[in-house]
Structure 1
Amino acid sequence: MNPKILAISTYPELTQMLKEISKELGVAISIYEGGIMRDGHLYAKKMENKFDIIISQGGTLEAIKEIVTIPVVSIEISTADILRALLEAKEKFKKKIVLFCYRSEKLSKLQNLKDILNVDFEVVNYGNKKEFEEKVDKIFNKSEFTLVGMGSCMLETSKGRDVDAVIIKSNRNSVRQAIIDAKNICDLSKREKEKSERLKIIIDYSSEGIIAVDKQGFITTFNPVAEKIFDLESDIVLGRNISDLKDYYYLNMVYGDEGYKLDEIIKINNIQLIINRIPIIVEDEKSGLIITLQEISKLQKLEQNVRNKLYNKGLIAKHRFGEILGSSKAIKEAIDNGIRFGKTSTTILIQGETGSGKELFAQSIHNISDRKDKPFVAVNCAALPENLLESELFGYEEGAFTGAKKGGKLGLFEMAHGGTIFLDEIGEIPLSLQSRLLRVLQEKEVLRIGGDYIVKVDVRIISATNIDLYKMVKEHKFREDLYFRLNILNLKIPPIRDRKEDIPILVNEFIGRMNREHNKKIEGLTENAMKLLMAYSWPGNVREIQNFVERMVILSDYPTIEEKFIRNLFIQSFGRENEIEKLEEDKNTIKVKVGTLKDMELQLIEELNNIFDSNKILLAEKLGISRTTLWKKMKEMEEY
């Protein structure tokens, strides 16, 4: 924003000079022509709220200074300017010279130069328009004289009284300098205003209560948060000495002995606060005191906000139960249990083989829980060495160890505050860290490495393993108390070999995904090709199927994939012919769990029914029974 400058000119030549020079300098100014005789000073008073600064000279300048509150810059009159006017009056009019000035010592001192200049002149002071006119009339009645002074008022007065007059005129350099000074003052004032406003905004909008006291003990700052903490309006305390406020116990308590106080906890009006009291020392002398107060609850909320922002940095659960593929009884039961568990905040232990989808279930559980809008943090306990795992889980303070980051680091438990942490391969966590993990479960708090204070955390823990944790407990490789804390709810993910009827669903879904990813157009598999896939045990479970299908889609040159292609792909994958032979054997083998004769019979019928795609004629022929008998047994199977 450009400075707003008002120039009060006192004669036409000055007006013209102001216009020309302001244009040269590129500084916009508003000009009003009229000295005291034309009430220029009153115009300046009227307009001061619309301008930042005023430029004028002589008596008009002095009159303006007395009635306005904004800065006023003088267009200086040099000694040479005055002498020039005096000599002009002497040579031109040959009369006694009367030098009128507005209470100015500078002009009065020129009286001492009479002898040096050989110019006879009298100095007359005036303070206002009326006084000026009265003194002119008084001198006019006594003798003839030449009037010398600043401003067009000299000419106007002389015309009405038939008196000769000479105006003292400023030179261009003085006018130029006045405009430059006015602009510089405006710029400086603007910077100071901005600085002051910034400081005011910082203080007023600070989350801390701020009190400032000067060296005499007078309160100079009492911001809105301080008003709220003390339940006091600032008008009551600002400008008053702390010694006069003895009735305000809490105010005197925080003022105390005026010494240093850092990060101490106090209580005011049942609000817990952290207080800092810092004396202001300038050149070894105390010049005041700053007191800051911050509500502990707000600090905790701020910490929560920081943690929540981590939610936007990738700490989210992307998957939901609707993405879990399969229609088998085993997978449906696992999904139902997962949904039921997700509606609680209890710890869950997910057990399942490699590639069975443990993290998929963990994310799905998080996304149906009350914590779904909070962070989901996953960590593989087997992927990190012990010392790194500890610092990742619990965080550390600055300088806790060689290589520690400046400022320290939040641990994953702190990042997961309010949400869920997923500890995959929990069985790999070292015994030395298991006690710390147990403390988090029991006390809901963590202590950073190198830290000296406890951090409260609210985290739901979901852990997962592909090994027998209870066996590890018996072998003293896993803490029994931790095992029982983790295993409050147990979710078992069935392996693919226990839900082979889901293989076609998985294969077809992955074919669609890989077609889109690799720009292919595979339509599907022949019946025998699919049976070959279903005969394989898939020890890597869903992940292995996905990888195999991707390879299959990329390498196939035909839209329909046949059994021969699958055979060759298996040979390439396993590198051994006997795996194919094993698959052939598996195709003609049905595995049943040992049980009663009736149990095993029903298992056999169910497996064959899946193999023959519910074709009851083929199934009855294979079993060597009539369709009526088969129907009865199928009915028993449904009711069983």
Structure 2
Amino acid sequence: MQKIIGIIASNLELKKRIEKLYYQDVKDKNIIIDIIDMDLLEEQGKMLVDKGAQVIIGRGGGYKLILDTVNVPVIPLNMKIIDLLKAIKEASSYSKKVVLILGYDEVDFDYDKWRGIIDVDISEEWFKSKYEIRNKVIKYIEKKDDVVIVGSGIACSFAKQYNMDNVFIDASDDSIKEAIEYSKNLLETVEKEKFDNEILRNILDGVKDGIIAIDNNGNILLYNDTAMKIMKVDKKDVSNRYILDVFPNMEWLLECLHTKKDSKRKIRHIYNSVVNTNAKLIKVDGHIYGAIGIIQDITKLQNLERKIRADLNKKGLYARYTFSDFMFKDKVTNEFIEEAKRIGRTDYTTLLYGESGAGKEILAQSMHNISKRKDKTFVAINCATISENLLESELFGYEEGAFTGAKKGGKPGLFELAHEGTLFLDEINSLPLNFQTKLLRVIEERQIMRIGSDHIIPLDIRIIAATNEFLTEKIRDNSFRADLFYRLSSLEINIPPLRERKEDIVPLFEHFVDKILKNSNIDDLNKVVKNSKLNKEDIDKLKAYNWPGNVRELKNIAQKYVVTGKIKLDYIINKFDYISIDRDYKDEYKNTELDYTNININMKEINSFVEQKIIDMLLNQGLSKTEVSQILGISRTALWKKCNKNI
């Protein structure tokens, strides 16, 4: 069977380029190309289908125009940033104001970030619907002598109608090849999948549900064991019988045939059972051969939902926390919470700053749960915990046979699992420099390719990143890419450490204690803890402490308090608060007068020295690196880096 790709080219030049790139396919009529006709905009997709096109490729507004008018797949000819920049450069030669007319989903272009590089006066006009394009052009008719329109085929065609200067954003050869090769691969499988998707998917994938299939006359063709248990009628009593003669209350399945439309899920009462039902047409090559009714027992459905939620929790794909989980009284906390709520409702990439244990992931989950993506997945990735050699396969996924040990059937990456949801990149500062380039490309293009695959997978994700270090300093020492930083930091939220939120310490501590007492299985907990509040000495002790581990450390102290009835901070305080550089050198400088005019203090070196002294002291006391990293409130990877930095 011949597989035909239809293309709507924006102009003659694009058509000729495609003919040159795919000469044999065009000659064999495996590719048919039409040029946009302004008088037939709404009909061109249908005309290509009438010529035999089984998939259609369109660009910009042309893609939007045919998307809802045909019943074959429509593939976008993607626009690249470099294509747009070339068009802007060409338009600048007109010495006029440049007007960009672009669809929101055509290209991810932020003029404000390019303003310092593009020395051109630009106005942006973005459209959502195909019907907005003409009006966007007409808006500038009175100023047509002072502007040049830059856009895709339809925008430029309208500009030509009104004698306005225009520059077409041409598609690169790579974009053309990408769209055509994707379409070819799609057509390779479409014939086989017609039957599988319309019948086997509804039957074999749904065998745990009750299934009743009927032909065009309403006679029962299929009736499985689950349906028999729900309907309480034996198989031998239903075969080839008219469905209403056996089940008078199943007229909804016949209605699907009469309307020639699949029915939506609906709760119904059948034989004293409450079930969830829906119906789907059986279609092959556009012809209707009957309908399938699917009946789901509500009890089983509820159990399945609980299992799905449990699986999502295990995989970390479910955001448990909301802003109501934040316990606070300090006005500093209130300020960043309100800022996070405003940003959370948007879809912009956001960068969170905060020390380890300050609550960055809880804040990210809360922002997800206030956004339009709240019902979708939340995928959290700790960049510091994945070894460099596994990063690409874990984040991007891989195909079967991509490398030795690859799972049968391949594996989706974490980016792919976050599709339509939120991706949280924690400790982004720990990413290896060579991987940052790949991450930047994914963030900009919003698409990935699995290892061992030649298929592009488009992504619709909101990205929230977090760091416990200032990335500007890492940029200066060449350990973090500046372009990745600017792409991530369109919006920033700083989470102050707990020591700067003094009014939050006691309420948080009491909250953790109450929660531990309610959830604990220990029968003989300290009665003092159960029946009394903190005294002034305890409160002063909590507020005076520096909390290097932030909220995470506070929770640990609350756990110890529940068990012992005492707030034990002395062990940790002795390790930090009483360390003094002066103590190491007091004998040497005891009677020495300092010449203050010649003193040159390097705070960075002092901080590094003190930090190393603390680490050495804890390790020398027999603590493991895991215990030291927990005490300091940093990851084990960060501790390893600090130790090796001073070797």
Shorter-chain TM range is 0.3 to 0.5
Decide which structure has greater helix share: 1
- The alignment's TM-score, normalised by the length of structure 1, stands at 0.42
TM-score (norm 2): 0.42
Structure with higher Rg: it is 1
